[in-house]
Amino acid sequence: MADDHRDNATGVRRLGFGVSGPHASPLIRPETTVEMIHLAYALGIRLFDTGPAYGAGEGERRLGEALARIPTFDPIVATKVGILPGRGKNRARDFSPDGVRRSVEGSLKRLRRSRIDWLFLHGPAPHELTDKLIKTLGDLQREGRVVSLGVCGRGPELDIALQTGEFTHFMAPVNVGLTPEDMERLYRLRSAGELIGIETLAAAHPRFPWPRTAGSAWRLARSLMGWSSQRPPTPMMPDEALCWALGEGGAHRVVTTTSNREHLEANVLAVTNCGRGGLITG
């Protein structure tokens, strides 16, 4: 059974691999994504995060194919509900009970699994966290379709989710560009459950100044289209940014994605070497 207790996550187990962005697009061949997932698994990574909104389910399909080829099947598989396939801000949303059930069933088929380890609501607005939705999520747990519930967000929706007492996993940006208000929210989330940091490398110097891989081209395109978070004024090196997120940032784990083998190996080495780190102080 997947080891999903936050206090048991040490070393490389604190790093997750995201199957999103270029890994859910024609920029990268499916075979290349499968190879990167296998490399991540061989390096000790056991948390894999994706969602149906990434490439209209392509990210989930690729992750399902990759994990089906691994003899010892013990990773933690995380996916999401609520945001439907589409482009940018025009993506449709469906947090209705029926919509969530349809999404979960579709994800299970694409992932080739009988259950989802961690199911995250994908950026719900506060008013979308209804009693009916919470009941449906609880029913999915009781039916064995979902193990743990979480919320992926960056603002008040995380506060509302925390107040319900129904969620144990929280996914949010963790980097030095956050405001004091953001940091206070992260402290509350960490105290209530497991905090998974995303966008941790938003504060990092790029390893190369110009895109040399599909992944770096994807990030450049996001930046030019205004999708990326504002870069903090004092960028760190990637290994420093990862260790900051797991130390001062307070994340129990971080999720990153890359299409470059050397970058993946460097991220694994950085997380392994930085240790458990400290708690949030801001």
The CATH number covering residue 37 comes to 3.20.20.100
Model confidence pLDDT, tens digit, residues 94-126 = 999 999 999 999 999 999 999 999 999 999 999
pLDDT-based confidence at 212, cuts 50/70/90? Answer: low
Q: At 94, phi and psi to the nearest 5?
A: -150, 95
Contact status, residue 184 vs residue 259, Cβ threshold 8 Å: no
Residue showing tokens 């990268």: 28
Give residue-wise pLDDT tens across range 162-185: 999 999 999 999 999 899 999 999
Query: What pLDDT does residue 57 have?
Result: 94
Residue-level pLDDT at 6: 42
- Helix 58-68 to helix 97-111 angle (10° resolution) is 40
- Is 174 part of a structural domain of the chain? yes
Q: 5 — alpha (psi -120 to 50), left (phi > 0) or beta? A: beta
What's the total number of domains in the chain?
1
Is residue 227 in a domain? no
Q: What is the pLDDT of residues 126-158, one digit of tens each?
A: 999 999 999 999 999 999 999 999 999 999 999
What's the pTM? 0.85
d(CA 268, CA 78): 19
Q: Up-side HSE of residue 237: CA atoms within 13 Å toward CB?
A: 6
Domain annotation covers residue 193: yes
pLDDT category, 3, cuts 50, 70, 90?
Answer: very low
More confident residue, 235 or 75: 75
pLDDT band at 274 (very low <50, low <70, confident <90, very high): confident
**Is residue 55 pLDDT above 50, yes or no?**
yes
Q: What is the pLDDT of residue 134?
A: 96
Report which of residues 53 and 205 the model is more confident about.
53
Distance CA 70, CA 140 (A): 27
What does the pLDDT read at residue 281? 34
For residues 151, 152, 155 and 156, what is the CA-based torsion angle, rounded to 10 degrees? -20
**Residue 102, domain member (yes or no):** yes
Is 226 domain-assigned? no
Residues making up the chain, counted from first to last: 282
Find the angle CA(47)-CA(48)-CA(54) to the nearest 5 degrees.
155
- Classify burial at 10, counting beta carbons within 10 Å of its beta carbon; exposed 0-12, middle 13-18, buried 19 or more: exposed
User: Is residue 59 in a domain?
Assistant: yes
Give Cα separations from 211 to 120, 220, 260 (angstroms): 31, 7, 11
Flag whether 180 is in a domain: yes
Say whether pLDDT at 252 is over 70: yes
Mean pLDDT of 215-225: 52
Residues spanned by the domain of 263: 12-209+236-274
Judge whether 282 lies within some domain.
no
How far is it, in rounded angstroms, from Cα 224 to Cα 228? 8
Give, in order, the Cα–Cα distances in Å from 174 to each of 96, 124, 125, 171, 255. 29, 19, 20, 9, 10
